């Protein structure tokens, strides 16, 4: 018989001062959108990405206040300097595996530069964080490529390693694509 792991609230830990939303998820916060991609290929690729879009408008043109707290100093967070200095983000936030950070940033840059109203933009600060999924995934193969971040994707509420969530992401499972599931 498998025991079910209790959630923090069930143990009396109540983060914040507001009650949780109906899904107890970031997607309960209107108008935040979350998408994801999961890539499973053969016996050695188990990876993914998550993208968080803070609002449906052009984030570069309507920047969002942001703050930063470092939990352990080991992770990498591209774009963190501008968050600390200016206190804002101008792109969606993407979370992916350690060796996919540059590819995710490239996809975010391409996406932001193609948005209407950004034709004269000459600098963009993508925010991309990482988690090392090397125990689950052959991380050195770098299975995530920028094109995977550019398609409409599934909404979700879970994040982390094997099932990360994303910006306009496709969901790819054994080379099958799925459209938006809203």
Task: Tell me what pLDDT residue 150 has.
Answer: 67
Mean pLDDT of 31-42: 90
In order of their start, the domains of the chain are 22-175 (3.60.70.12)
Mean pLDDT of 20-31: 87
Please tell me the pTM assigned to this model: 0.77
Question: Tell me: the pLDDT tens digits for 120-147?
Answer: 999 999 999 999 999 999 999 999 988 8
Whether residue 88 contacts residue 66, with contact meaning beta carbons closer than 8 Å, is answered with: yes
pLDDT at 37 over 90: no
Task: Tell me what pLDDT residue 75 has.
Answer: 80
Backbone angles phi, psi at 105, to 5 degrees: -60, -40
Task: Tell me what pLDDT residue 105 has.
Answer: 94
- pLDDT over 90 for what percent of the chain? 54
Average pLDDT value for the chain: 81
Task: Tell me what pLDDT residue 176 has.
Answer: 31
Question: Tell me: the pLDDT tens digits for 69-106?
Answer: 887 777 889 999 999 999 999 999 999 999 999 999 99
- pLDDT over 70 for what percent of the chain? 81
Task: Tell me what pLDDT residue 27 has.
Answer: 84
Task: Tell me what pLDDT residue 30 has.
Answer: 87
């Amino acid at each position: 018989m498998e025991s079910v792991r209790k959630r923090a609230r069930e143990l009396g830990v109540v983060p914040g001062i507001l009650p949780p939303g109906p899904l107890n998820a970031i997607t309960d916060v209107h108008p935040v959108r979350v998408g994801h991609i999961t890539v499973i290929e053969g016996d050695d690729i188990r990876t993914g990405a998550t993208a968080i879009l803070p609002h449906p408008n052009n984030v570069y043109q309507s920047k969002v206040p942001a703050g930063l707290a470092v939990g352990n100093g080991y992770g990498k967070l591209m774009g963190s300097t501008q968050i600390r200095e200016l206190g804002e983000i101008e792109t969606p936030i993407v979370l992916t595996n350690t060796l996919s950070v540059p590819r995710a940033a490239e996809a975010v840059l391409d996406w932001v530069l193609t948005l209407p109203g950004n034709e004269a933009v000459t600098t963009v600060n993508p925010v991309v964080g990482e988690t090392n999924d090397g125990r689950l995934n052959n991380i050195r193969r770098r299975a995530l490529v920028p094109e995977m971040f550019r398609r409409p994707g599934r909404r979700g509420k879970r994040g982390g390693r094997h099932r990360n969530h994303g910006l306009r992401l496709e969901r790819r499972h054994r080379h099958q694509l799925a459209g938006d599931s809203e």
